[in-house]
Amino acid sequence: MDLRRWHYFAVLAEEMHFTKAAARLFVSQPSLSQQIRAFEAELGVALLDRSGPRFVLTEAGRVAAAEARELLDRLNRARGVIAAAGRGDAGRLRIAYTRSAPGPLAGDLVAAYRERHPDVELALETGWTSLNLARLAAGEIDVGFVRPPVSVPDVEVAVVGSEEVLLALPHTHALTRRRGRVRRAWIAAEPVVFWPRENGPGQYDAISGQVWPGGLPPIVREEPEDEQLMRAVAEGAGIAAVPEHRARALRRRGVVLRRLEEPAPRIDLGLAWRAGPLPPVVRTFVDLARDGTGP
């Protein structure tokens, strides 16, 4: 069906005057009359009662006028939604945090994106670097926070921030009684609690290389998540190196946090996405992560 005729009829039904409707539509009156007759023929029903000095709407015409306005309003909404999707202002974005960075580094970026694109539906979940990379490859998420360095085919990464790494010590440990920063030499042989390297090889190597440059001392216990790692420290199993925001968020009785001597160890937080052309809703998030301004 010709949508132009729906538009013509909707305007005519509002004006109830051919001359005024034609002027509003920027067409001639005979052309408008011809299109209305064609519209009636197309529908197979009379929409106008032309028996009097002025036409009136038939019952079918009144229904057609209401349907025409609803149809045109829906069409305008559809155009707006489609245009917004093309700009990246509408749609659905699947984001995975990493458990080691629940603080402001990732949270502020997501909050800034939500403020700029309030009509985008955000599907948020939490994983860890290796899991987020696997889910990216499988197409299960659109972007994922990771701990660089990361080297995976067909995945791009932008560093979005960094944070200091702190030492978590059992409260009974002798180092808790020392003032100032902890020297690396003092912890060179201390038993360590760590998480499995396969969860995030880049972060694992970055932490161990900066905190224990002479090589890791004995790892006496592995825990899959920072919550369990901090519990193990509180139980006196050993010391641990934990990103600052995570360490402070999970701080518990029996654990003392200390800073290391300069140069203080730091780790980056990155945003990863699949390489290649990006859907607009993903591109706007990546742009914001890359330069902090977005389009």
pLDDT at residue 208 greater than cutoff 90? yes
By the 8 A CB rule, do 60 and 9 touch? no
* Mean pLDDT of all residues belonging to the chain: 89
248 vs 237: CA distance, rounded Å = 19
Three-state SS for 11? helix
Angle, in degrees to the nearest 10, between helices 3-15 and 59-87: 120
Plot region of 74 (φ>0 → left; ψ -120 to 50 → alpha; else → beta): alpha
Q: What number of residues does the chain have?
A: 295
pLDDT 10s digits, 76-131: 877 766 776 676 666 889 999 987 766 677 888 899 998 888 888 899 998 888 89
Q: Where are the beta strands (DSSP E) in 141-247?
A: 143-146, 155-170, 192-194, 219-222, 240-243
Q: Mind listing the pLDDT tens digit for each residue in 119-166?
A: 888 999 988 888 999 999 899 999 999 988 888 889 999 998 889 999
Q: What residues contact 5, with CB distance under 8 A and at least 6 apart?
A: 35, 36, 38, 39, 42
Q: What is the pLDDT of residue 295?
A: 39
pTM above 0.95, yes or no: no
Contact between 241 and 166 (Cβ < 8 Å): yes
The 3-class secondary structure across 241-257, one letter per residue, is: EEEHHHHHHCCCCCEEE
What domains appear along the chain, each with residue ranges and CATH number?
3-87 (1.10.10.10), 91-295 (3.40.190.290)
Q: What is the pLDDT of residue 292?
A: 58
Interatomic CA distance for residues 19 and 121, integer angstroms: 47
Would you state the pLDDT for residue 63? 95
Supply the DSSP symbol for 237.
Answer: S
The residues, any chain, with a CB within 8 Å of residue 220's CB and separated by 6 or more, are 191, 192, 193, 237, 238
pLDDT of residue 294: 41
Dist. CA 108–CA 125, nearest whole Å: 16
Q: Are 274 and 194 in contact (CB under 8 A)?
A: no
pLDDT bucket at 52, cuts 50 / 70 / 90 = confident
Q: Give me the pLDDT at residue 166, please.
A: 95
Between strands 120-127 and 91-98, the pairing is parallel
DSSP-assigned letter for residue 199: G
What's the distance, Cα to Cα, between the start and end of the chain in Å? 39
Model pLDDT, residue 203: 86
CA-closest candidate to residue 184, choices 207, 202, 162: 207
Task: Give percent above pLDDT 70 in the chain.
Answer: 94
Calpha distance 133→139 (Å, rounded)? 10
**pLDDT (mean) for 38-52:** 92
Split at pLDDT 50, 70, 90, the class of 11 is: very high
CA dihedral 245→246→252→258, nearest 10 degrees, is -60
pLDDT band of 61, cuts 50, 70, 90: very high
Structure tokens at 22: 């034609």
